[in-house]
């Protein structure tokens, strides 16, 4: 397999990962909406014996959200490293992507332009 084909496979994998992340975020948003609705309808001052108990449940939900955000951040950092491996970065370039768009050297696919 050539280098260009390997790069294309890496980018395709990164795109698939982004799609899967989007699906997971949609599912988490639906789950959070259900949790919010349940919480609003079932938790009030009379249902909790103490304020400490109510605060504890709120903090538990908050911790779950933080864990999800942390996981998504780690996935995105992995994707950034994939893209950095594919897209060349030189200090001399004005920065960017592709030969004709004025975005750096880009990736050669064997054809002459």
Burial of residue 3 (CB within 10 Å: 0-12, 13-18, 19+) is exposed
Q: Is the pLDDT of residue 109 over 70?
A: no
The answer to whether residues 112 and 106 touch, using CB atoms and an 8 Å cutoff, is no
Highest mean pLDDT among 43-47, 54-58, 94-98: 54-58
CB of 93 closer than 8 Å to CB of 105:
yes
pLDDT in tens, 49-83: 677 777 887 888 888 888 888 888 888 888 788 77
Overall average pLDDT of the 17-39 stretch: 85
Which token pair is 111?
């054809």
How distant is the alpha carbon of residue 18 from its chain centre? 7
Q: Which residues of 89-104 are buried (b: 16+ CB within 10 A; e: fewer)?
A: eeeeeeeeeeeeeeeb
- Calpha distance 65→85 (Å, rounded): 31
pLDDT of residue 71: 83
| Sequence ranges of the domains in the chain | 24-78
Contact 96, 102 (CB under 8 A): yes
């Amino acid at each position: 397999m050539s280098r260009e084909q390997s790069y294309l496979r890496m980018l395709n994998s990164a795109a698939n990962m982004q799609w899967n992340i989007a699906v997971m975020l949609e599912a988490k948003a639906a789950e959070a909406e259900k949790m919010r609705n349940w919480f609003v309808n079932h938790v009030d001052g009379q249902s909790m014996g103490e304020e400490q108990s109510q605060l504890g449940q709120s903090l538990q939900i908050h911790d779950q959200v933080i864990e999800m955000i942390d996981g998504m951040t780690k996935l995105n950092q992995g994707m950034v490293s994939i893209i950095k491996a594919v897209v060349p970065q030189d200090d001399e370039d004005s920065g960017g992507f592709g030969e004709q768009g004025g975005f750096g050297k880009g990736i050669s696919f064997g054809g002459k332009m």
